[in-house]
């Protein structure tokens, strides 16, 4: 293009294709103010908390943000990558970005990542990609199952940034991949291999998904159904009987009713029913984070053993494993069809 432009024409970057991985977010550190900034942004999102602002604002700012950052900061400190001084979520998402970039290097695709809450912000990364010449960008929210509280709000943030750009790139949004055959295959294999590597035989494998208020389901959010379908398809792929695997929901917040059965309550009740050996995984997460490493792997184990359980294991997320990256590459190449 540069050979056909007049000599005084402003420099124009060579046009490129970009892939932007979008994840939830993380505080920059474990101290009170870092966690408070993160929680305020997260809990101020109307996609996450649908309570009217006039009612929610004083509850959030006068009550929750006064005490919750200290408690959450302590939880983050138990899983923090002290060598990198970053949260596992950011470390793993960076690794996924590098691995995908290597796989797409031959196609000249630019790969980057951004966080819906915290840093690097979606706006800053989109602006950087556009300035680098990315005129076609695929947005890939790293959530296998769709929810307005995750996939939709990640895309919203990208759309907000696009609205302010003078030269706006063309964008595509990747759909949820909860039933994608490659995802089911890779997830199923990770469960089978994870169970086989344990020093005990689980009587039950629990697929623990992040929860959400029941009211969101009633308003039409498909997340609940997609979680159950993922587990059913994986169980069928493994050839397991229905009673070998169950669905639960974790991380509930506030006094309202959330999707059930609750993970924590289930772990407390299973030993009373004679089930004392379990393995747990979190298929709603593409990368291990505080909800998996602290809430499930640590607190969940403690609750289960205190309730009379004997053996407990957490099976990690797919993270940046070769198989996990095979799955992400499969989704990305399919969604880039016609651009590559």
Question: Residues, the chain, total?
Answer: 340
209, 227, 154, 104 alpha-carbon torsion, rounded to 10°:
100
Tell me where in the chain the CATH 3.40.50.1400 domain(s) lie: 16-177+323-335, 181-314
CB-CB contact of 150 with 60 (8 Å): no
- Is 302 annotated among the ligand-binding residues? no
CATH architecture of 181-314: 3-Layer(aba) Sandwich (3.40)
d(CA 194, CA 190): 6
* Residue closest to 258 by CA, chosen among 298, 302, 296, 211: 211
Asked if the peptide bond before residue 120 counts as cis, ω within 30 degrees of 0, the response is: yes
Residue position matching structure tokens 């004679």:
274
- Is 9 annotated among the ligand-binding residues? no
Query: What are the backbone angles phi and psi of residue 45, rounded to the nearest 5°?
Result: -75, 120
Written as tens digits, the pLDDT of the chain (340 aa) is 456 767 776 666 789 999 999 999 999 999 999 999 999 999 999 999 999 999 999 999 999 999 999 999 999 999 999 999 999 999 999 999 999 999 999 999 999 999 999 999 999 999 999 999 999 999 999 999 999 999 999 999 999 999 999 999 999 999 999 999 999 999 999 999 999 999 999 999 999 999 999 999 999 999 999 999 999 999 999 999 999 999 999 999 888 999 999 999 999 999 999 999 999 999 999 999 999 999 999 999 999 999 999 999 999 999 999 999 999 999 999 999 999 9
CB-CB contact of 227 with 284 (8 Å): yes
CATH architecture of 16-177+323-335: 3-Layer(aba) Sandwich (3.40)
pTM: 0.94
Residue 71: exposure state from Cβ atoms within 10 A (0-12, 13-18, ≥19): exposed
134 DSSP β-pair partners: 16
* Tokens read off for 261: 């059965």
């Amino acid at each position: 293009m540069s050979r056909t432009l007049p000599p005084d024409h402003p420099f124009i970057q060579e046009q490129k294709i970009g892939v932007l991985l979008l994840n939830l977010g993380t505080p920059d550190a474990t101290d009170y103010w870092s966690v408070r900034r993160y929680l305020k942004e997260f809990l101020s999102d109307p996609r996450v908390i649908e309570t009217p602002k006039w009612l929610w604002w004083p509850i959030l700012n006068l009550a929750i943000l006064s005490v919750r950052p200290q408690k959450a900061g302590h939880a983050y400190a138990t899983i923090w990558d002290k060598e990198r001084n970053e949260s596992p979520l950011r470390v793993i998402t960076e690794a996924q970005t590098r691995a995908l970039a290597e796989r797409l290097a031959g196609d000249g695709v630019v790969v980057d990542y951004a966080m819906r809450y915290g840093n690097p912000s979606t706006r800053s990364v989109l602006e950087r990609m556009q300035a680098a010449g990315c005129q076609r960008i695929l947005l890939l929210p790293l959530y296998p199952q769709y929810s307005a509280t995750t996939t939709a709000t990640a895309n919203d943030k990208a759309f907000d940034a696009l609205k302010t750009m003078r030269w706006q790139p063309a964008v595509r949004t990747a759909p949820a991949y909860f039933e994608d055959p490659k995802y089911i295959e890779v997830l199923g294999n990770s469960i089978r291999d994870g169970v086989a590597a344990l020093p005990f035989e689980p009587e039950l494998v629990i697929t623990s998904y992040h929860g959400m208020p029941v009211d969101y389901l009633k308003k039409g959010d498909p997340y609940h159904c997609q979680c159950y379908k993922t587990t059913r398809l994986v169980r069928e792929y493994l050839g397991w009987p229905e009673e070998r695997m169950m669905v639960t929901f974790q991380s509930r917040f506030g006094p309202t009713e959330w999707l059930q059965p609750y993970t924590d309550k289930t772990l407390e009740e299973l030993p009373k029913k004679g089930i004392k050996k379990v393995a747990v995984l979190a298929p709603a997460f593409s990368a291990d984070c505080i909800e998996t490493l602290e809430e499930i792997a640590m607190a969940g184990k403690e609750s289960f053993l205190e309730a009379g359980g004997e053996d407990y294991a957490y099976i990690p997320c797919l993270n940046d494993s070769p198989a996990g990256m095979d799955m992400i590459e499969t989704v990305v190449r399919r969604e880039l069809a016609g651009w590559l």
